[in-house]
Structure 1
Amino acid sequence: MCCSGFLKIMMFVFNGAIFLAGAAILGVGVWVEVDSGSLLGLLETVEDAPDELSQLANVSYLLMGAGAVLLVIGFLGCCGAVRESRCMLMMFFIIVLIIFLVEVAGAIVLFVFQGLTDQLLMDVEIQVIKEIRVKYGEDEKMTSRWNATMKEFKCCGYKNYTDFDGSPFLDQYKSYPDTCCFQNVTTCTENNAGASNIGGCFQKFMDLIEENTVIIAAVALGIAAVEIAAMVVSLILYTKAGKKD
Protein backbone atom coordinates (compact mmCIF):
# COMPACT_ATOMS: atom_id res chain seq x y z
CA MET A 1 0.00 0.00 0.00
CA CYS A 2 2.88 2.34 0.83
CA CYS A 3 4.62 1.44 -2.41
CA SER A 4 1.43 2.08 -4.36
CA GLY A 5 1.03 5.49 -2.74
CA PHE A 6 4.62 6.39 -3.59
CA LEU A 7 4.10 5.36 -7.23
CA LYS A 8 1.00 7.54 -7.42
CA ILE A 9 2.95 10.51 -6.06
CA MET A 10 5.71 9.93 -8.63
CA MET A 11 3.07 9.64 -11.35
CA PHE A 12 1.67 13.02 -10.28
CA VAL A 13 5.16 14.55 -10.33
CA PHE A 14 6.02 13.19 -13.79
CA ASN A 15 2.66 14.11 -15.29
CA GLY A 16 2.83 17.53 -13.67
CA ALA A 17 6.14 18.07 -15.46
CA ILE A 18 4.61 16.87 -18.74
CA PHE A 19 1.58 19.14 -18.21
CA LEU A 20 3.81 22.18 -17.55
CA ALA A 21 5.98 21.36 -20.57
CA GLY A 22 2.85 21.15 -22.71
CA ALA A 23 1.62 24.51 -21.41
CA ALA A 24 5.02 26.09 -22.16
CA ILE A 25 5.17 24.66 -25.69
CA LEU A 26 1.58 25.73 -26.34
CA GLY A 27 2.43 29.24 -25.13
CA VAL A 28 5.46 29.44 -27.42
CA GLY A 29 3.35 28.28 -30.36
CA VAL A 30 0.72 30.95 -29.68
CA TRP A 31 3.46 33.60 -29.31
CA VAL A 32 5.05 32.63 -32.66
CA GLU A 33 1.64 32.72 -34.35
CA VAL A 34 0.60 36.17 -33.09
CA ASP A 35 4.07 37.74 -33.34
CA SER A 36 4.05 39.55 -36.71
CA GLY A 37 7.71 40.44 -36.24
CA SER A 38 8.78 36.80 -36.09
CA LEU A 39 11.28 35.68 -38.71
CA LEU A 40 9.12 32.62 -39.30
CA GLY A 41 6.19 34.88 -40.11
CA LEU A 42 8.12 36.24 -43.08
CA LEU A 43 8.12 32.80 -44.69
CA GLU A 44 4.37 33.15 -45.23
CA THR A 45 5.02 35.99 -47.68
CA VAL A 46 7.32 33.91 -49.90
CA GLU A 47 5.62 32.75 -53.09
CA ASP A 48 6.55 29.58 -55.00
CA ALA A 49 8.36 28.35 -51.89
CA PRO A 50 9.45 24.69 -51.51
CA ASP A 51 7.05 22.44 -49.60
CA GLU A 52 9.59 22.19 -46.75
CA LEU A 53 9.65 25.99 -46.45
CA SER A 54 5.86 26.19 -46.32
CA GLN A 55 5.81 23.57 -43.57
CA LEU A 56 8.44 25.53 -41.63
CA ALA A 57 6.19 28.60 -41.77
CA ASN A 58 3.48 26.55 -40.01
CA VAL A 59 5.75 25.56 -37.12
CA SER A 60 3.53 27.55 -34.74
CA TYR A 61 0.63 25.17 -35.41
CA LEU A 62 2.94 22.21 -34.81
CA LEU A 63 4.01 23.67 -31.46
CA MET A 64 0.43 24.36 -30.42
CA GLY A 65 -0.60 20.84 -31.41
CA ALA A 66 2.30 19.27 -29.51
CA GLY A 67 1.56 21.40 -26.45
CA ALA A 68 -2.11 20.47 -26.49
CA VAL A 69 -1.26 16.75 -26.76
CA LEU A 70 1.12 17.00 -23.78
CA LEU A 71 -1.58 18.75 -21.75
CA VAL A 72 -4.01 15.92 -22.48
CA ILE A 73 -1.37 13.29 -21.66
CA GLY A 74 -0.58 14.93 -18.32
CA PHE A 75 -4.25 15.05 -17.40
CA LEU A 76 -4.82 11.47 -18.58
CA GLY A 77 -1.89 10.13 -16.56
CA CYS A 78 -3.04 11.83 -13.36
CA CYS A 79 -6.62 10.58 -13.76
CA GLY A 80 -5.40 7.07 -14.49
CA ALA A 81 -3.25 7.05 -11.35
CA VAL A 82 -6.03 8.38 -9.09
CA ARG A 83 -8.71 6.02 -10.38
CA GLU A 84 -6.22 3.19 -10.96
CA SER A 85 -7.88 2.68 -14.32
CA ARG A 86 -6.03 0.07 -16.38
CA CYS A 87 -7.56 1.43 -19.58
CA MET A 88 -6.36 4.99 -18.94
CA LEU A 89 -2.94 3.85 -17.75
CA MET A 90 -2.39 1.71 -20.84
CA MET A 91 -3.64 4.47 -23.11
CA PHE A 92 -1.25 6.87 -21.39
CA PHE A 93 1.65 4.42 -21.86
CA ILE A 94 0.91 3.89 -25.57
CA ILE A 95 0.59 7.61 -26.35
CA VAL A 96 3.80 8.52 -24.50
CA LEU A 97 5.64 5.61 -26.17
CA ILE A 98 4.52 6.78 -29.63
CA ILE A 99 5.62 10.34 -28.89
CA PHE A 100 8.98 9.12 -27.57
CA LEU A 101 9.59 6.98 -30.68
CA VAL A 102 8.66 9.89 -32.95
CA GLU A 103 11.13 12.14 -31.09
CA VAL A 104 13.91 9.55 -31.46
CA ALA A 105 13.11 9.05 -35.16
CA GLY A 106 13.09 12.82 -35.73
CA ALA A 107 16.49 13.21 -34.07
CA ILE A 108 17.94 10.39 -36.22
CA VAL A 109 16.52 11.88 -39.42
CA LEU A 110 17.96 15.32 -38.62
CA PHE A 111 21.36 13.77 -37.93
CA VAL A 112 21.43 11.54 -41.02
CA PHE A 113 20.07 14.12 -43.45
CA GLN A 114 22.03 17.11 -42.18
CA GLY A 115 23.37 17.72 -45.69
CA LEU A 116 19.85 17.99 -47.05
CA THR A 117 19.02 20.47 -44.29
CA ASP A 118 21.96 22.64 -45.38
CA GLN A 119 20.72 22.48 -48.98
CA LEU A 120 17.22 23.48 -47.84
CA LEU A 121 18.66 26.51 -46.03
CA MET A 122 20.45 27.54 -49.23
CA ASP A 123 17.20 27.23 -51.19
CA VAL A 124 15.40 29.28 -48.54
CA GLU A 125 18.06 32.01 -48.71
CA ILE A 126 17.80 32.28 -52.49
CA GLN A 127 13.99 32.38 -52.43
CA VAL A 128 13.72 34.92 -49.59
CA ILE A 129 16.29 37.31 -51.10
CA LYS A 130 14.44 37.06 -54.42
CA GLU A 131 11.21 38.05 -52.67
CA ILE A 132 12.91 41.02 -50.99
CA ARG A 133 14.24 42.35 -54.29
CA VAL A 134 10.85 42.02 -55.94
CA LYS A 135 8.43 43.11 -53.20
CA TYR A 136 10.15 45.12 -50.44
CA GLY A 137 8.79 48.67 -50.58
CA GLU A 138 5.84 47.64 -52.75
CA ASP A 139 4.03 44.86 -50.87
CA GLU A 140 2.76 46.52 -47.68
CA LYS A 141 2.32 43.30 -45.65
CA MET A 142 5.73 41.92 -46.55
CA THR A 143 7.46 45.29 -46.02
CA SER A 144 5.90 45.86 -42.59
CA ARG A 145 6.89 42.37 -41.44
CA TRP A 146 10.47 42.85 -42.55
CA ASN A 147 10.61 46.25 -40.85
CA ALA A 148 9.28 44.76 -37.60
CA THR A 149 11.74 41.86 -37.75
CA MET A 150 14.76 44.06 -38.54
CA LYS A 151 13.84 46.43 -35.73
CA GLU A 152 13.33 43.57 -33.25
CA PHE A 153 16.56 41.73 -34.06
CA LYS A 154 18.56 44.86 -34.98
CA CYS A 155 19.48 43.29 -38.29
CA CYS A 156 19.48 44.09 -42.01
CA GLY A 157 17.79 41.88 -44.58
CA TYR A 158 18.09 38.12 -44.65
CA LYS A 159 21.86 38.07 -45.25
CA ASN A 160 22.96 41.74 -45.41
CA TYR A 161 22.13 45.08 -47.02
CA THR A 162 22.81 43.77 -50.55
CA ASP A 163 19.55 41.81 -50.31
CA PHE A 164 17.74 45.09 -51.09
CA ASP A 165 19.64 45.77 -54.34
CA GLY A 166 17.10 46.33 -57.10
CA SER A 167 14.14 46.41 -54.70
CA PRO A 168 11.23 48.87 -55.21
CA PHE A 169 12.25 50.54 -51.92
CA LEU A 170 15.77 51.28 -53.13
CA ASP A 171 14.51 52.48 -56.52
CA GLN A 172 12.03 54.85 -54.87
CA TYR A 173 14.03 56.26 -51.94
CA LYS A 174 17.58 55.79 -53.28
CA SER A 175 18.57 54.43 -49.88
CA TYR A 176 18.53 51.26 -47.84
CA PRO A 177 16.29 50.66 -44.77
CA ASP A 178 17.36 52.67 -41.72
CA THR A 179 18.12 49.48 -39.78
CA CYS A 180 20.92 48.71 -42.26
CA CYS A 181 22.95 51.66 -40.97
CA PHE A 182 24.11 53.02 -37.63
CA GLN A 183 21.62 55.31 -35.88
CA ASN A 184 23.80 58.41 -36.32
CA VAL A 185 23.63 58.07 -40.13
CA THR A 186 21.18 60.47 -41.79
CA THR A 187 20.76 58.65 -45.10
CA CYS A 188 21.48 54.94 -45.42
CA THR A 189 23.39 55.00 -48.70
CA GLU A 190 25.29 52.03 -50.09
CA ASN A 191 28.58 53.34 -48.64
CA ASN A 192 27.02 53.94 -45.22
CA ALA A 193 25.36 50.52 -45.21
CA GLY A 194 28.62 48.84 -46.16
CA ALA A 195 30.53 50.74 -43.47
CA SER A 196 27.89 49.92 -40.83
CA ASN A 197 28.06 46.22 -41.72
CA ILE A 198 24.83 45.32 -39.88
CA GLY A 199 24.34 41.54 -39.80
CA GLY A 200 21.47 39.72 -41.48
CA CYS A 201 18.35 38.60 -39.60
CA PHE A 202 18.88 34.91 -40.27
CA GLN A 203 22.31 34.95 -38.64
CA LYS A 204 20.95 36.89 -35.67
CA PHE A 205 18.20 34.30 -35.32
CA MET A 206 20.73 31.44 -35.46
CA ASP A 207 22.95 33.22 -32.91
CA LEU A 208 19.95 33.43 -30.58
CA ILE A 209 19.39 29.67 -30.91
CA GLU A 210 23.09 28.88 -30.39
CA GLU A 211 23.18 31.02 -27.25
CA ASN A 212 20.38 28.88 -25.82
CA THR A 213 21.57 25.52 -27.19
CA VAL A 214 22.47 24.19 -23.74
CA ILE A 215 19.05 25.15 -22.36
CA ILE A 216 17.24 23.64 -25.36
CA ALA A 217 19.25 20.40 -25.11
CA ALA A 218 18.72 20.18 -21.34
CA VAL A 219 14.96 20.67 -21.73
CA ALA A 220 14.80 18.04 -24.50
CA LEU A 221 16.75 15.50 -22.42
CA GLY A 222 14.66 16.34 -19.36
CA ILE A 223 11.41 15.74 -21.24
CA ALA A 224 12.75 12.42 -22.62
CA ALA A 225 13.77 11.30 -19.11
CA VAL A 226 10.36 12.24 -17.68
CA GLU A 227 8.61 10.35 -20.50
CA ILE A 228 10.63 7.18 -19.82
CA ALA A 229 10.08 7.40 -16.06
CA ALA A 230 6.35 8.05 -16.53
CA MET A 231 6.04 5.01 -18.83
CA VAL A 232 7.77 2.77 -16.28
CA VAL A 233 5.59 3.99 -13.41
CA SER A 234 2.40 3.67 -15.47
CA LEU A 235 3.25 0.06 -16.34
CA ILE A 236 3.87 -0.79 -12.67
CA LEU A 237 0.56 0.83 -11.65
CA TYR A 238 -1.16 -0.98 -14.53
CA THR A 239 0.19 -4.31 -13.23
CA LYS A 240 -0.86 -3.58 -9.64
CA ALA A 241 -4.33 -2.48 -10.76
CA GLY A 242 -4.66 -5.77 -12.63
CA LYS A 243 -3.93 -7.77 -9.48
CA LYS A 244 -6.81 -6.02 -7.69
CA ASP A 245 -9.31 -7.01 -10.37
Structure 2
Amino acid sequence: MGCAKGLLIFFNLLISINGLIILGVGVFLKVQKDVDTDDWNAQAIAFMIIGGTVFAISFLGCCGAIKKSKCMLYTFGSILIVIFILQTIIAIVLLRSKDKIIKHLNEEVFGQAIAENKESEVVKKIQTTLKCCGIDGPEDWVVVTDSCKYSEEEEEDDKHVEHTYKEGCGKIMEDLVTKYSNNAGAGVMVTAFMEVIGALLAFYVARKLAKANRNGHP
Protein backbone atom coordinates (compact mmCIF):
# COMPACT_ATOMS: atom_id res chain seq x y z
CA MET A 1 0.00 0.00 0.00
CA GLY A 2 2.94 2.32 0.66
CA CYS A 3 3.84 2.28 -3.03
CA ALA A 4 0.24 3.00 -4.06
CA LYS A 5 0.06 5.83 -1.53
CA GLY A 6 3.24 7.35 -2.94
CA LEU A 7 1.91 7.02 -6.48
CA LEU A 8 -1.35 8.65 -5.43
CA ILE A 9 0.49 11.65 -3.99
CA PHE A 10 2.59 11.86 -7.16
CA PHE A 11 -0.49 11.69 -9.39
CA ASN A 12 -2.15 14.36 -7.26
CA LEU A 13 0.78 16.61 -8.03
CA LEU A 14 0.30 15.90 -11.74
CA ILE A 15 -3.46 16.44 -11.43
CA SER A 16 -2.91 19.82 -9.75
CA ILE A 17 -0.61 20.80 -12.63
CA ASN A 18 -3.20 19.52 -15.11
CA GLY A 19 -5.83 21.64 -13.37
CA LEU A 20 -3.69 24.71 -13.91
CA ILE A 21 -3.19 23.71 -17.56
CA ILE A 22 -6.96 23.39 -18.10
CA LEU A 23 -7.47 26.73 -16.36
CA GLY A 24 -4.81 28.22 -18.63
CA VAL A 25 -6.50 26.77 -21.72
CA GLY A 26 -9.77 28.37 -20.63
CA VAL A 27 -8.13 31.75 -20.11
CA PHE A 28 -6.34 31.44 -23.47
CA LEU A 29 -9.59 30.67 -25.29
CA LYS A 30 -11.39 33.49 -23.48
CA VAL A 31 -8.90 36.16 -24.52
CA GLN A 32 -8.99 35.20 -28.20
CA LYS A 33 -11.00 38.24 -29.28
CA ASP A 34 -10.62 37.29 -32.92
CA VAL A 35 -12.92 34.32 -32.16
CA ASP A 36 -15.64 35.96 -30.08
CA THR A 37 -18.92 34.01 -30.00
CA ASP A 38 -21.28 32.93 -27.22
CA ASP A 39 -20.50 29.22 -27.74
CA TRP A 40 -16.77 29.86 -27.69
CA ASN A 41 -16.94 32.00 -24.54
CA ALA A 42 -19.19 29.50 -22.74
CA GLN A 43 -16.74 26.68 -23.40
CA ALA A 44 -13.80 28.85 -22.31
CA ILE A 45 -15.56 29.63 -19.01
CA ALA A 46 -16.35 25.92 -18.54
CA PHE A 47 -12.64 25.10 -18.96
CA MET A 48 -11.71 27.72 -16.36
CA ILE A 49 -14.24 26.41 -13.84
CA ILE A 50 -13.19 22.79 -14.31
CA GLY A 51 -9.48 23.67 -14.21
CA GLY A 52 -9.89 25.60 -10.98
CA THR A 53 -11.96 22.77 -9.47
CA VAL A 54 -9.41 20.11 -10.44
CA PHE A 55 -6.59 22.16 -8.94
CA ALA A 56 -8.54 22.68 -5.70
CA ILE A 57 -9.60 19.07 -5.16
CA SER A 58 -6.09 17.74 -5.82
CA PHE A 59 -5.31 18.89 -2.29
CA LEU A 60 -8.18 16.72 -1.03
CA GLY A 61 -6.49 13.67 -2.55
CA CYS A 62 -3.13 14.56 -1.00
CA CYS A 63 -4.69 15.10 2.42
CA GLY A 64 -6.62 11.84 2.14
CA ALA A 65 -3.46 9.89 1.29
CA ILE A 66 -1.34 11.52 3.99
CA LYS A 67 -3.99 11.27 6.72
CA LYS A 68 -5.10 7.81 5.54
CA SER A 69 -8.73 8.97 5.36
CA LYS A 70 -10.99 6.56 3.48
CA CYS A 71 -13.78 9.14 3.33
CA MET A 72 -11.56 11.80 1.77
CA LEU A 73 -10.11 9.33 -0.72
CA TYR A 74 -13.51 8.01 -1.83
CA THR A 75 -14.81 11.57 -2.12
CA PHE A 76 -11.75 12.62 -4.10
CA GLY A 77 -12.01 9.65 -6.47
CA SER A 78 -15.74 10.19 -7.02
CA ILE A 79 -15.27 13.89 -7.80
CA LEU A 80 -12.50 13.05 -10.27
CA ILE A 81 -14.80 10.62 -12.10
CA VAL A 82 -17.53 13.29 -12.33
CA ILE A 83 -15.01 15.85 -13.62
CA PHE A 84 -13.69 13.29 -16.13
CA ILE A 85 -17.20 12.85 -17.52
CA LEU A 86 -17.78 16.61 -17.70
CA GLN A 87 -14.42 17.21 -19.38
CA THR A 88 -15.11 14.53 -21.96
CA ILE A 89 -18.50 16.08 -22.76
CA ILE A 90 -16.98 19.57 -23.07
CA ALA A 91 -14.17 18.30 -25.31
CA ILE A 92 -16.69 16.58 -27.61
CA VAL A 93 -18.92 19.68 -27.68
CA LEU A 94 -15.91 21.89 -28.43
CA LEU A 95 -14.79 19.71 -31.33
CA ARG A 96 -18.31 19.39 -32.75
CA SER A 97 -19.18 23.08 -32.38
CA LYS A 98 -16.22 24.43 -34.34
CA ASP A 99 -18.22 24.28 -37.60
CA LYS A 100 -21.04 26.22 -35.93
CA ILE A 101 -18.56 28.84 -34.68
CA ILE A 102 -16.99 29.21 -38.13
CA LYS A 103 -20.44 29.52 -39.73
CA HIS A 104 -21.41 32.19 -37.18
CA LEU A 105 -18.26 34.21 -37.89
CA ASN A 106 -18.68 33.99 -41.67
CA GLU A 107 -22.44 34.42 -42.05
CA GLU A 108 -23.44 36.59 -39.10
CA VAL A 109 -20.38 38.57 -38.04
CA PHE A 110 -18.85 39.15 -41.47
CA GLY A 111 -22.03 38.61 -43.51
CA GLN A 112 -23.94 41.38 -41.77
CA ALA A 113 -20.97 43.78 -41.91
CA ILE A 114 -20.45 43.14 -45.63
CA ALA A 115 -24.18 43.51 -46.38
CA GLU A 116 -24.17 46.92 -44.66
CA ASN A 117 -20.65 47.72 -45.92
CA LYS A 118 -19.84 48.80 -42.38
CA GLU A 119 -17.30 46.94 -40.29
CA SER A 120 -18.13 46.17 -36.66
CA GLU A 121 -15.51 46.28 -33.93
CA VAL A 122 -15.24 42.48 -34.09
CA VAL A 123 -14.66 42.52 -37.86
CA LYS A 124 -12.18 45.36 -37.50
CA LYS A 125 -10.30 43.41 -34.83
CA ILE A 126 -10.25 40.22 -36.90
CA GLN A 127 -9.04 41.90 -40.09
CA THR A 128 -6.37 43.88 -38.27
CA THR A 129 -5.13 40.97 -36.15
CA LEU A 130 -5.21 38.27 -38.82
CA LYS A 131 -4.10 40.64 -41.61
CA CYS A 132 -6.93 39.63 -43.92
CA CYS A 133 -9.87 41.26 -45.69
CA GLY A 134 -13.48 40.15 -46.09
CA ILE A 135 -14.47 36.50 -46.13
CA ASP A 136 -12.87 35.57 -49.45
CA GLY A 137 -10.91 38.75 -50.11
CA PRO A 138 -11.21 42.55 -50.44
CA GLU A 139 -13.65 42.16 -53.33
CA ASP A 140 -16.32 41.22 -50.75
CA TRP A 141 -16.55 44.87 -49.73
CA VAL A 142 -18.24 47.49 -51.91
CA VAL A 143 -15.82 49.98 -50.39
CA VAL A 144 -12.74 48.38 -48.85
CA THR A 145 -12.63 49.17 -45.13
CA ASP A 146 -9.70 50.85 -43.41
CA SER A 147 -8.81 47.74 -41.39
CA CYS A 148 -8.10 45.94 -44.69
CA LYS A 149 -5.35 48.42 -45.44
CA TYR A 150 -1.79 48.70 -44.27
CA SER A 151 1.15 50.87 -45.24
CA GLU A 152 4.75 50.06 -46.04
CA GLU A 153 7.70 52.36 -46.30
CA GLU A 154 9.32 52.45 -49.72
CA GLU A 155 13.09 52.34 -49.31
CA GLU A 156 13.85 54.36 -52.44
CA ASP A 157 11.40 57.24 -51.93
CA ASP A 158 11.30 57.06 -48.11
CA LYS A 159 7.52 57.35 -48.11
CA HIS A 160 4.62 55.15 -46.99
CA VAL A 161 2.58 53.35 -49.63
CA GLU A 162 -0.87 51.97 -48.77
CA HIS A 163 -1.68 48.37 -49.59
CA THR A 164 -4.69 46.08 -49.11
CA TYR A 165 -4.65 42.62 -47.55
CA LYS A 166 -5.38 40.17 -50.37
CA GLU A 167 -6.21 37.05 -48.37
CA GLY A 168 -9.75 36.50 -47.11
CA CYS A 169 -10.44 35.96 -43.41
CA GLY A 170 -12.72 32.95 -43.94
CA LYS A 171 -9.98 30.34 -44.43
CA ILE A 172 -7.73 31.91 -41.79
CA MET A 173 -10.53 31.89 -39.20
CA GLU A 174 -11.43 28.29 -40.07
CA ASP A 175 -7.82 27.17 -39.60
CA LEU A 176 -7.54 29.16 -36.36
CA VAL A 177 -10.74 27.80 -34.80
CA THR A 178 -9.83 24.25 -35.86
CA LYS A 179 -6.35 24.59 -34.37
CA TYR A 180 -7.60 26.00 -31.06
CA SER A 181 -10.39 23.41 -30.81
CA ASN A 182 -8.17 20.43 -31.61
CA ASN A 183 -5.39 21.53 -29.24
CA ALA A 184 -7.81 22.26 -26.42
CA GLY A 185 -9.68 19.00 -26.94
CA ALA A 186 -6.46 16.96 -27.00
CA GLY A 187 -5.17 18.69 -23.87
CA VAL A 188 -8.39 18.03 -21.98
CA MET A 189 -8.43 14.35 -22.94
CA VAL A 190 -4.83 13.91 -21.72
CA THR A 191 -5.69 15.48 -18.37
CA ALA A 192 -8.87 13.38 -18.21
CA PHE A 193 -6.76 10.22 -18.56
CA MET A 194 -4.62 11.38 -15.62
CA GLU A 195 -7.76 11.96 -13.56
CA VAL A 196 -9.00 8.43 -14.20
CA ILE A 197 -5.66 7.01 -13.02
CA GLY A 198 -5.80 9.25 -9.95
CA ALA A 199 -9.36 8.15 -9.15
CA LEU A 200 -8.48 4.45 -9.49
CA LEU A 201 -5.46 4.89 -7.20
CA ALA A 202 -7.61 6.74 -4.65
CA PHE A 203 -10.18 3.93 -4.62
CA TYR A 204 -7.41 1.33 -4.37
CA VAL A 205 -5.71 3.02 -1.39
CA ALA A 206 -9.09 3.55 0.31
CA ARG A 207 -9.93 -0.16 -0.06
CA LYS A 208 -6.53 -1.15 1.31
CA LEU A 209 -7.07 1.14 4.30
CA ALA A 210 -10.51 -0.36 4.92
CA LYS A 211 -9.06 -3.88 4.74
CA ALA A 212 -6.22 -2.95 7.10
CA ASN A 213 -8.71 -1.50 9.59
CA ARG A 214 -10.81 -4.68 9.50
CA ASN A 215 -7.69 -6.72 10.21
CA GLY A 216 -6.83 -4.49 13.15
CA HIS A 217 -3.95 -2.60 11.48
CA PRO A 218 -4.98 1.09 11.41
TM value normalised by structure 2: 0.72
RMSD: 3.5
User: Relative CO higher for 1 or 2, CA cutoff 8 Å, sep ≥ 6?
Assistant: 2
Partner of 1:38: 33
Larger strand share, 1 or 2: 2
1:176-195 equivalences under 5 Å are 176-179=145-148, 183=152, 186-187=161-162, 193=164
Q: CA deviation at 1:107?
A: 5.7
1:9-158 equivalences under 5 Å are 9-33=6-30, 35=31, 38-41=33-36, 43=37, 54-105=38-89, 118=99, 121-133=102-114, 134=116, 136-137=118-119, 142-143=120-121, 145-158=122-135
* CA contact 1:77–1:89 (8 Å) conserved in 2: yes
Distance in structure 2 (CA, Å) of the matches to 1:216 and 1:92: 25
Distance in structure 1 (CA, Å) of the matches to 2:72 and 2:5: 14
SS in 2 for 1:40: coil
Q: CA deviation at 1:124?
A: 4.5
1:200-239 equivalences under 5 Å are 200=169, 202-208=170-176, 219-239=187-207
Question: Structure 2: which 5+ residue stretches go unaligned?
Answer: 154-159, 214-218
Question: Structure 1: which 5+ residue stretches go unaligned?
Answer: 44-53
Q: CA deviation at 1:71?
A: 0.9
Q: CA deviation at 1:235?
A: 0.8
Q: CA deviation at 1:228?
A: 2.0
Residue identity matched to 2:207: T
Distance in structure 2 (CA, Å) of the matches to 1:135 and 1:81: 63
* CA contact 2:152–2:162 (8 Å) conserved in 1: no
Residue identity matched to 1:39: D
Q: CA deviation at 1:206?
A: 3.8
Q: How many residues align?
A: 206
TM value normalised by structure 1: 0.66
